[in-house]
Amino acid sequence: MIGVFDSGLGGLSVLAALVEALPHSDFRYYADTAHVPYGNKSEAEIQRRVLAIGDELAGMGCHLLVVACNTATAAAVEALRSAHPGIPVVGVEPGIKPAAQASKSRLIAVLATESTARSARLHKLIRDHAANVEVHVEPCPGWATQVEMLQLDDPALASDARKRLEPLLARGVDRIVLGCTHYSFLAPVLRDVIRDRAELVDVADAVARQARRLATTPSAGHGRIHLHASAHPERLRAAFPRLHLHQLATRIA
């Protein structure tokens, strides 16, 4: 059983990739909907939630944990690893390295929550993997909440995306890293703004490959997904079709 968690719906974009990479595994997906969004919370608050969810998923028999949230990874993945030394933990970090390697203009941008944007972990990632590239970090307050409310077609969101991205594109940014798992569900809105001027970089498939490498019994399971939410569990199930996750919905236990 693989435990996957996020503050809410964003991690479902990672779960989709995990299911594709590990079709026979069973998953527990935990959405911390009583505390979403994480992006405007302190590192200490996020750590408390991550450790509590880690304990819960480990208690339910998960032998591998995937932190399907950039904000939680930046704030608490090391604390989670220390709390569960016997359980491999896979985190999600913005794809700075692939974006820096692929950029021709040597200008990349990362869209992230406020917490991730100011995190020491993101700035170390940039120092380590994008030393010869200019990296613009753009905090996007409110975007994760728009996804939680399933307001993906909100004109105000499209206009905020345009306001944030146009100046970056005008400067020649050619890779835009999705540094929050919720933003994968905003890809159509972002592509409408970007058109052919830049490429989006999402790491969900890379995270899934890493989980497959660490999964000890990848074929032991029935390909089922068990859902858990700290508030409004019915909304979690109902969100699958709205997020075009029809295939995934058929696996819900």
Give the footprint of ligand DGL on this chain (CB under 6 A): 6-7, 10, 36-39, 69-71, 113, 116, 144, 180-182
* Closest CB to ligand DGL: residue number: 39
Please list the alpha-helical segments (H only) found in 103-225: 114-117, 120-129, 143-148, 155-170, 187-194, 204-214
Residue 125 and residue 78 in contact, taking contact as beta carbons nearer than 8 Å: no
Beta pairing, strands 64-67 & 175-178: unpaired
- What is the smallest separation between the CB atom of 6 and ligand DGL, expressed in angstroms? 5
| 69 flagged as catalytic | yes
Name the residue nearer to ligand DGL (CB basis): 48 or 63: 48
Name the residue nearer to ligand DGL (CB basis): 106 or 114: 114
- What is the smallest separation between the CB atom of 98 and ligand DGL, expressed in angstroms? 17
- What values do phi and psi take at 45, rounded to 5? -65, -45
In whole angstroms, give the CA distance from residue 43 to residue 55.
Answer: 18
- What is the smallest separation between the CB atom of 180 and ligand DGL, expressed in angstroms? 4
| 140 flagged as catalytic | no
Name the residue nearer to ligand DGL (CB basis): 31 or 135: 31
**What SS3 class is residue 148?**
helix
Q: Return the active site residues.
A: 69, 180
